[in-house]
Structure 1
């Protein structure tokens, strides 16, 4: 009986399900079908023998990773960089969306939105190349400005342990802040304008309207996005770190993402790389479930 009612509802809303079909097919092909290859992490995989023909290795490659003398450093670096990106970078799109919502000059607002969105569509290779030109101590505009204003010697921003975290987090925020703010701006636009009118009648200024109307209005979506963001604490972003990290910053810049790419592609250790990648995914799943349960205790908004 219940199944027949379900199919009747699906048939009634068949056009909506039809629109969902391409997304469902995409997720099935690229997110669920590849799960079959998880077994690579537990086998001595070779291309000639394939998935099922390769010998079973059990937890051999997991033990190899944890026995690796730099595994602790790599995990620590990944957590530190990811945590800094989360704690510093997560509020930035919210702040940008709220500030843009308070701008009434539509032309200026569109210009700021466009300029903030554009970096998201630029590859990290172009971004790092641009940073190298801007931050170089040999005639770079940033160092020229610092020298002319403060009279100090040029600063080596790149390949410098003192400035490494600032450059990594700052470039990540600059690249993603505009795109991430779109969701919050859409949520703000859906807030009932009568709430703002009621706040004005009660004597609330623009700051108090932001605090008592805008922030509560986007709290739900912010909680959901924060829960999802915690799943990336074991993934600091391989492309950015692969390009920014150098010999001078290896001690604080070596992360799991780069280690997986170097092990799997450069060294050809596919089973080892799959094991490390699976370890990342399991930790991400545990983090998301844990933070979701914490959110359920303190909020009525949860992911599942």
Structure 2
């Protein structure tokens, strides 16, 4: 039963809880209700039997995945690509937010913000199609420009030598503006008197950024880093599906694509659910571990 003090606090802040209600309902319907389907990973699922009528299979499909001769390669590729995106992609929005904060021209700042936000709303199909047109060695503008400087045409796409650069660069270009929004909001909330005090102490712009701006976004950065760690086993389905090919399969095959291919293309729903559950469990363990470390080191954590 709900404690009286808790009921009183909820009633006092009822307007805020009403604002939260649509989000809570959305998460309940689309995130918690589907958890009932997790049992598919432990059953020999059939459409006729459904979730509850299909026979139990135990850890059969988990064993199948780990016995798969490419499972270690797929896990390795997923971790490498995800770690690259986390290491570089996590810092870039912070840098962009700080640079925009230093811009004094409001018109220029808004233009850059708009241009950096737009790619987030473009689907990966459009992005990859654009990249194919720009980077093709057969008349693409990038290779034409390199040719002016005497550089031979380069096959950027579906090339193991350029695969990671293309994956990382396209991911940063698509998401940097959107991910910088929360950092810009955090910077806007920094007390301006701290900057004035730093100026009085003789701090230049770089010192102000180092001693005032960065500490101002520190807590937000830690929280977002903890949340980002949870996706370390998820390298991105659409991007890897479209940018990976036979030539780069050895370094581009990841768990996301393997799950979708197994479940939809091959109809192995129980196997795909088992691999997906494995991803989720590892992600949960990583979040709990990093959250505990962050709480001990910086006193900032999710819970």
TM-score by length of 2: 0.99
Say yes or no: does 1:71 pair with 2:71.
yes
Q: Which residue of 2 aligns with 1:98?
A: 98
Q: Which residue of 2 aligns with 1:130?
A: 130
User: What is the rounded CA distance, in whole Å, between the counterparts of 1:6 and 1:238 in structure 2?
Assistant: 42
Q: Which residue of 2 aligns with 1:198?
A: 197
Q: CA deviation at 1:13?
A: 1.4
User: What is the rounded CA distance, in whole Å, between the counterparts of 1:141 and 1:16 in structure 2?
Assistant: 52
Q: Which residue of 1 aligns with 2:290?
A: 291
Matches within 5 A, 1:5-154: 5-149=5-149, 151-154=150-153
Q: Which residue of 2 aligns with 1:279?
A: 278
Q: Which residue of 1 aligns with 2:245?
A: 246
User: What is the rounded CA distance, in whole Å, between the counterparts of 1:270 and 1:3 in structure 2?
Assistant: 44
TM-score by length of 1: 0.99
Structure 2 unaligned spans of 5+: none
Structure 1 unaligned spans of 5+: none
Q: Which residue of 2 aligns with 1:188?
A: 187
CA offsets, 1:174-197, max 9 Å, x none?
000000000000000000000000
User: What is the rounded CA distance, in whole Å, between the counterparts of 2:114 and 2:9 in structure 1?
Assistant: 41
User: What is the rounded CA distance, in whole Å, between the counterparts of 1:111 and 1:124 in structure 2?
Assistant: 23
User: What is the rounded CA distance, in whole Å, between the counterparts of 1:163 and 1:13 in structure 2?
Assistant: 54
Match of 1:55, SS state, is: coil
Match of 2:159, SS state, is: coil
Q: CA deviation at 1:226?
A: 0.4
User: What is the rounded CA distance, in whole Å, between the counterparts of 1:94 and 1:12 in structure 2?
Assistant: 37
User: What is the rounded CA distance, in whole Å, between the counterparts of 1:212 and 1:152 in structure 2?
Assistant: 44
CA offsets, 1:236-277, max 9 Å, x none?
001000000001000000000000000000000000000000
Q: CA deviation at 1:303?
A: 1.2
Aligned CA RMSD, in angstroms, stands at 0.9
Say yes or no: does 1:159 pair with 2:158.
yes
Match of 2:180, SS state, is: helix
CA offsets, 1:33-89, max 9 Å, x none?
011000000000011111110000000000000000000000000000000000011
User: What is the rounded CA distance, in whole Å, between the counterparts of 1:15 and 1:297 in structure 2?
Assistant: 35
User: What is the rounded CA distance, in whole Å, between the counterparts of 2:146 and 2:70 in structure 1?
Assistant: 37
User: What is the rounded CA distance, in whole Å, between the counterparts of 2:3 and 2:297 in structure 1?
Assistant: 35
Q: Which residue of 2 aligns with 1:211?
A: 210
Say yes or no: does 1:265 pair with 2:264.
yes
Q: CA deviation at 1:2?
A: 7.3
Q: May I ask how many residue pairs the two structures share in their alignment?
A: 303
